[in-house]
Amino acid sequence: MDNKLLPKLSQNLLEILDDDEYYDITVEVGNDPYVKIFRAHMVILNYRSSYLRRILSINKKKNDGTLTNIKLPNISPEIFQIVLRYIYGGKLSLEEYDITDIIKILITANELNLQELISYLELFLIKNKTNWIDQNFDLIYQTSFENDSFLELQKYCIELISKEPNKIFNSTNLSSISEKVLISLIQHDNLQMSQIQIWENILKWGIAQNPELSSDPSIYSDDDFNALKNTLQKYIPFVKFTKFTYKEFLNKVYPYKKIIPEELFENLVKYFLDYDRNSYKITVEKEHSIAQHTLESGESTEQDSERTIYQYSKVTENGCEIAQYNLGSFYRYGKGVEKNDVKAFECYEKSADQGYLNAQFELGYCYSNGIGTEVNKAKAFEYYKLAAEKGHNIAQNNLGILYEYGAGTEKDLEQAIYWYNKAAENKNNVAQYNLGLCYRYGIGVEKNEAKSFEYYKTSADQGNLKAQYRLGYCYENGIGTNVNRGNAFAYYKRSADQGYLDAQFQVGYCYYNSIGVRYYESNMKEAFKHYKLAAEKGHINAQNNLGILYENGEGTEKNSDKAIYWFQKAAENRNK
């Protein structure tokens, strides 16, 4: 009954907007020659948009009866008119607009900090316009990562890139890939790219950031190596070098040894030398014998390796599922043998068919990512489900992802939530974070901000950086909990200290505005420090704010040249 009254309320509020008598503010929107004046009401703008609230706090209503006037030069008058009617009436019929207009509405909603509208528009695009997104991927990708508000579109883009990485790595805009995207892809569980391909594309990206560098490291000077090292130092720790074969390490990594931290490189050399000298003793114990390998000193030959694999293969013929799984892992990662994904797949399949849990998960992963076989999401679903039903928490989370996106099975959000819950109960912090997102935005469950908060907190306390950042946002804005800016700052800081870009910006913002921290003169220096950290990694808002600090001499010495430099960086990145 209550909801039936809302349309009338919405209609009345729109009538107030259209009324020419009682307005108390004019809004000048656009740039010459395309400028339009809108009449509005301060009280509605104040409570509907936190961005407008900040502007109005500076342009307070005068007692002499003079109308308040504010300017929004960065917004199109046509788009502002659409958004203004939403602000008053709470309604927006997206079927009336083409997709390019919807993108403009989304950008304007972000400018005005209309978070509810942003979430609505993101989900509309993801659920209804997937074909258009795929055809216009560069536009959506650039739009979603220009700021930190379009989290669902960012998540969608990351998932899409993980399935089709060449969309971005073979793009002419390779150099525009942000740090956030690159790290998210490297860490993505289902990235359809081998570790050596990841390394090659990281190098490709790093060279693209330094156009003066050649693709041939043999002609690099020390300065060239240092330039590449400074660009890639944040990403190298995410590369799983031990998944490389010895030949891949020798041919693809060794030539770039000067960009790898000295201790890490030394350990890698020892690792690959050890595996090059491995010999394996094979023993068989009873009918269900398990092959064991023991590292022995002395040089091994190609003949030794062949004999080792032959003996190991004989053990697997006895039907030992653990031996089959281990042999699959040797082939998968090139340990003691030449890397062979096809043979790895065959071994995993034999082990999985006997019910060995880890092999069932690995086989699902192979089918999902095309390792040793063609990509087959239906088969991936089948084996993830087998492993998930036995309690494998990563398989449970991955199964939830397949159900959520309808990959390899029909889309079933109820089942997605079920398996996310199972994985979360088994301490999988990624699943806990996914549940937080689902409850936050009502994906497969009724929207419940309190539950979203609980899952973010559980995941954050297990070390998930994204969850820590999200939890900070919940505390700051009272989403699912009481506003507690001290806790907000603490979680932002925890995430920032571990390198999460958005959190580093937010910590700077908190210091600058004394959010969750007491005011000290040193706050501005801390704001400057964190803005600079984020700005140097490409965070647009941080670059702009850093320019303001230099311009005003806040937290640092006043420096007009550096202010202009950072304003230009922000402008260039915003237009990419």
At 135-189, the pLDDT tens digits run: 877 778 778 777 778 888 888 887 877 777 776 666 666 666 767 677 777 776 6
**Least confident range of 8-12, 304-308, 329-333, 512-516:** 304-308
List of residues 6+ apart from 460 with CB closer than 8 A: 467, 468, 470, 471, 491, 494
How far is CA 32 from its chain centroid?
A: 38
CA distances from 73 to 77, 105, 109, 547 (A): 9, 15, 15, 20
What pLDDT digit, counting tens, does each position of 215-227 carry? 899 899 999 999 9
Q: How would you classify the pairing of strands 68-72 and 34-40?
A: unpaired
Q: What angle do CA 432, 438, 444 make, to 5 degrees?
A: 120
Residue predicted with more confidence, 529 or 191? 529
Most confident of 201-205, 298-302, 308-312: 201-205
Q: In the chain, where are the structural domains located? A: 1-91
- Token code pair at residue 194: 């081998």
C-beta of residue 474 within 8 angstroms of C-beta of residue 453: yes
Which CATH number describes the domain made up of 1-91? 3.30.710.10
pLDDT reported for residue 93? 85
312 has pLDDT over 70: no
Tell me the whole-structure pTM to 2 decimals: 0.45
| Long-range residue pairs from 129-134, CB within 8 A, at least 24 positions apart, any chain | 129/99, 132/99, 133/160, 134/160
pLDDT at 208 over 80: yes
Q: Is the pLDDT of residue 515 over 60?
A: yes
Query: Given this model, what pLDDT does residue 454 score?
Result: 95
Pick the most confident of 237-251, 284-298, 327-341, 450-464: 450-464
| Alpha carbons 1 and 12: distance in angstroms, whole number | 18
Q: What is the pLDDT of residue 168?
A: 67
Lowest mean pLDDT among 275-284, 397-406, 550-559: 275-284
pLDDT at 287: 24
pLDDT in tens, 412-435: 999 999 999 999 999 999 999 999
Closest CA to 427 of 459, 457, 404: 459
Q: CB count, 10 Å around CB of 246?
A: 17
What single-letter amino acid sits at 158?
I
- pLDDT category at 318 given cuts 50, 70, 90 is low
Amino acid at 58: I
Q: What is the mean pLDDT of residues 248-252?
A: 86
d(CA 100, CA 123): 16
Percent of the chain topping pLDDT 70:
86
pLDDT of residue 292: 29
> At residue 356, does pLDDT exceed 50?
yes
Residue 81 amino acid letter:
Q
Q: How confident is the model at residue 283 (pLDDT cuts 50, 70, 90)?
A: very low
**Among 57-61, 192-196, 502-506, 532-536, which stretch is predicted with the lowest mean pLDDT?**
57-61
pLDDT in tens, 524-544: 999 999 999 999 999 999 999
